Structure 1
């Protein structure tokens, strides 16, 4: 069930924004690059807030203070991952560990994907809330290719605590049932992994959502 603001009030879904990476493939902190006047990570945080998830928890690591400054003024909760250099899974674990009690699922966003169409996370939430799927993982897909953000049901939280390395939540896909939710959204296939990708992003329009 959702209200007019898009909030999902049947099951409690939090958002976890992964913003701890060191951007080793870029020449500067990727999350702090600007797009339409704001850092990439701020756009992604606004996207997470726009879904109506509560709380929205940001996991920082590299450049933690700069990332937090870039997100100033937004209603976010921050937790720092001291082990961020050991891989993305450590940030997922840190985010899950910091969630308040009573959360039924977490929608995990990557901080460098501000271009994800807002309807993608909202549709994942709708499927989780209204269709009550048996699967523990909901993942968007474009032309059969899996993308982000990923919704993780609370059954995974204990398993997440045992993850290691840079596999992130992907290591759980063979252990728990996965539901792919298809989208006709080419943006799901785009990543900002190089200076050339960033130049392509700069040519894209800003998201249509508002704070």
Structure 2
């Protein structure tokens, strides 16, 4: 397994790719399922996130469950540092907190889901830039046709709240507390809404 993630350099944006889900509705390890180009779902998501952060010196960690060796390998190949979260089976909140704590010195966090492989690089970049040009309290997300999507960016102010998350609600409580203060970044990209939960969802990617 790769070494534990270093803390992100002060002032940098850290990417946190959540890749510890069980994939029960998919009926198997969906994150390793190949896309038409042969690339695993999670690897496509990871490469887009890494590409968006590289120009600004950002780091990227991918949070997995212990023992997900094959998944860790493809995510490391995409440029992520791997974080194993022992509590990942208890819900996404634990995984997100684990990734944020591992990059505790970051200026902000760009939180992405490994089962959303069709988010275009400019959509990641739009949220990244909102964090870079905002202040510590900034929360930003892309929107397509009026609907908020992923990834979601959090400024430094939100470290404590994010690092203590538990359960399966992810960052919903943080977003609810900041309602009305979320910066929406309009994008021409349906991929910001398209996740893969079931095999039939693969047919909708790219539409």
Indicate the TM-score class for this superposition, using the shorter chain for normalisation.
0.7 to 0.9
Q: When the two structures are superposed, what TM-score results if normalisation uses the length of structure 2?
A: 0.84
User: Hey, what's the Cα distance between the residues in 1 that align with 2:67 and 2:39?
Assistant: 17
Aligned to 1:208: none
Q: Secondary structure at the match of 2:24?
A: coil
Instruction: Name the one with the larger helix percent.
Output: 2
Question: Which residues of 2 match residues 43-192 of structure 1 at below 5 A?
Answer: 43-53=44-54, 54-61=58-65, 64-101=68-105, 103-130=106-133, 132=134, 135-176=137-178, 177-192=181-196
Unpaired runs of 5+ in structure 1? 1-8, 206-211
1:16 CA drift (Å): 0.6
1:74 to 1:182, Cα distance in 2 relative to 1, 3 A: closer
1:61 CA drift (Å): 1.1
Which contiguous aligned blocks of 4+ residues in structure 1 show a shift greater than 4 angstroms?
A: none
User: Hey, what's the Cα distance between the residues in 2 that align with 1:82 and 1:173?
Assistant: 25
1:194 to 1:113, Cα distance in 2 relative to 1, 3 A: same
User: Hey, what's the Cα distance between the residues in 1 that align with 2:32 and 2:186?
Assistant: 30
Aligned to 1:5: none
1:62 to 1:10, Cα distance in 2 relative to 1, 3 A: closer
Contact 2:137–2:157 (8 Å) recurs in 1: no
Measured against aligned partners, the alpha-carbon deviations of 1:150-179 in whole angstroms (never above 9, x if no partner) come to: 101111110112322211112101223322
User: Hey, what's the Cα distance between the residues in 2 that align with 1:147 and 1:72?
Assistant: 25
Aligned to 1:200: 204
1:123 CA drift (Å): 1.2
Q: Secondary structure at the match of 1:31?
A: helix
Measured against aligned partners, the alpha-carbon deviations of 1:72-116 in whole angstroms (never above 9, x if no partner) come to: 434321111111121111110000011152x10010110011100
RMSD: 2.2
